[in-house]
Amino acid sequence: MKSYRNLLADLIQKYRDRADFLLIRLEESESTDILLRGDKIENLSEEVNIGGQVRACYRGGWGFASFNRLETLSERIEDAIAAARLVGTKQTCLAPIPTLEGTYYLPLPAGDPRDIPLAEKKALCDHYNQILKSHDSRITSTTVGYSDITQQVTIATSEGTLVEQSFADLEARFSAIARNSETVQVGRETTGSRRGWQDLLNLETQIITAAERAVNALTLPSIKGDTYPVVIDPILSGLFVHEAFGHLSEADMIYENPDLQEVMTMGRQFGPETLQIFDGAAPEGHRGSYQVDDEGTPATTTQLIENGILVGRLHSRETAGKLKERPTGNARCLDYQYPPLVRMTNTWIERGDTPVEKLFQDIPLGVYAKNWLGGMTNGEMFTFSAGEAWMIRDGKIAEPVRDVTLSGNVFKTLANIEAIGNDFYWDESGGCGKGGQSGLPVGCGGPSLRIKDVVVGGEDSDTEN
């Protein structure tokens, strides 16, 4: 890719006067994908991709062109400029950023996945799959997935930025389905890393946990659906802050939606004074970490909620310009085939000062939920399925239960946070989807939380608990 630096600079100089803003992004990637379902191999592949994208802005209108034949770059630049000039009718409004020139490499202290043969990666998946299959005769289906991708990206803009960045991302996914007569339960675990290959080794304990969770749930009673005080573990609080609140903080959703602008008004009190929420790619070592985003904006850390009050949101240069706020380095694309969107990076709730054991005190009847099976959000509303759950009785963790879903309005739930634990965990299992770009690596973190008045789904309320 280095051999194209002079070419990019020459093309930018040639075409810069025909658009208000011009960006060329070249990408070279090497990836592996493995998917095993039971005894079948559904996918076993290695790929090398070279391609790029051109973005042009003229009078507020954007043109986009992607390509994987570098000899067509001049034509794609002309296509993007022509499209931008066709739709642009207003004023280009991009928040200013510093001009950058340099090379940024995220280190791989746990080993470069490109150095590991495909056969060795497949053998690791077989080993993990065998652990799942042999754990218990009631496990009827297993899934093991492995993926890695190493990307080298070069970004050149008409403002003078010329940067190179490279990083790797790895992910492993495991699931076991257990069946007993008509009862079916699922146990899942996912892990990821931007540190390298060795982080996906020695996961046997985590995999056994997924199998045990599926089997044990077969004989557990279902919870009685009702409204309860709930304590959630750090994994669920990380999922909550990402899915339920993080997407509402993405400014492209806000400036296009007057109703959401009114809801997400700066200075509005959303939670207790102890609540602090952040997002940022600047913290090192997480799956949403990088040095510059896909517009060449330096990575930052943005506080979204300070002392319970909304103080920030996530931006591309355009959304920052239109809302007259600072760019935060959150313009990201999955790969060269897609334009960047405003996306979360690493999103977390800061740890509190309440000892975890005190979160359960004074709860006569409640629910303790850990881990996750799945979930969905729709605007302000969310529903999450817990991977494990127990009843809380008289301030103590009591019997385990199954089929626990947590639902509610994100703003009411934030306001109902009663205590924030002094623990914290980074969950590196996230792959975020938005605008047709699914699987973008992100990190989520948080402490345990105690929340009042959470709607918990389960059996009908007239069923004995």
List the one residue out of 283, 275, 285 whose CA is nearest residue 300. 283
Q: Over pLDDT 70: what percentage of the chain?
A: 98
- 225-263: pLDDT as tens digits: 999 999 999 999 999 999 989 999 999 988 888 888 889
Query: What average pLDDT is seen over the chain?
Result: 94
Q: Are residues 180 and 277 in the same domain?
A: no
CA 355 from centroid of its chain's CA atoms: 28
Q: Are residues 157 and 247 in the same domain?
A: no
What is the CB neighbour count within 10 angstroms for residue 1? 16
Query: Of 185, 218, 251, which marks where a domain is finished?
Result: 218
Question: Is residue 397 one of the residues assigned to a domain?
Answer: yes
Q: Are residues 182 and 268 in the same domain?
A: no
Question: Is residue 463 one of the residues assigned to a domain?
Answer: no
Q: In the predicted model, what is the mean pLDDT of residues 12-26?
A: 97
Question: Is residue 465 one of the residues assigned to a domain?
Answer: no
112 close to 168: Cβ distance less than 8 angstroms: yes
263 close to 257: Cβ distance less than 8 angstroms: no
Distance CA 295, CA 54 (A): 11
Question: Is residue 90 one of the residues assigned to a domain?
Answer: yes
What local confidence, expressed as pLDDT, does residue 462 receive? 40
Q: Are residues 304 and 444 in the same domain?
A: yes
CATH of the domain at 161: 3.30.2290.10
Q: Are residues 175 and 275 in the same domain?
A: no
Please report which confidence band the pLDDT of residue 461 belongs to, taking 50, 70 and 90 as the band edges: very low
Please report which confidence band the pLDDT of residue 146 belongs to, taking 50, 70 and 90 as the band edges: very high
- 117-126: pLDDT as tens digits: 999 999 999 9
Q: Are residues 131 and 210 in the same domain?
A: yes
Q: Are residues 214 and 244 in the same domain?
A: no
- 372-384: pLDDT as tens digits: 888 888 889 999 9
Q: Are residues 197 and 300 in the same domain?
A: no
Question: Is residue 54 one of the residues assigned to a domain?
Answer: yes
Q: Are residues 209 and 299 in the same domain?
A: no
Q: Are residues 214 and 237 in the same domain?
A: no
Read off the pTM: 0.94
Number of domains in the chain: 2
What local confidence, expressed as pLDDT, does residue 254 receive? 87
Q: Are residues 29 and 141 in the same domain?
A: yes
- 159-187: pLDDT as tens digits: 999 999 999 999 999 999 999 988 999 99
Q: In the predicted model, what is the mean pLDDT of residues 416-439?
A: 94
Segments forming the whole domain that contains residue 93: 4-218
Q: Is 63 exposed, middle or buried (0-12, 13-18, 19+ CB in 10 A)?
A: buried
Query: Of 173, 192, 218, which marks where a domain is finished?
Result: 218
Q: In the predicted model, what is the mean pLDDT of residues 192-205?
A: 96
Q: Are residues 236 and 377 in the same domain?
A: yes
Query: Of 187, 218, 249, which marks where a domain is finished?
Result: 218
State yes or no: pLDDT of 44 exceeds 80.
Answer: yes
Please report which confidence band the pLDDT of residue 464 belongs to, taking 50, 70 and 90 as the band edges: very low
Question: Is residue 192 one of the residues assigned to a domain?
Answer: yes
Question: Is residue 349 one of the residues assigned to a domain?
Answer: yes
Question: Is residue 462 one of the residues assigned to a domain?
Answer: no
Distance CA 47, CA 40 (A): 21
List the one residue out of 294, 390, 404, 384 whose CA is nearest residue 338. 294
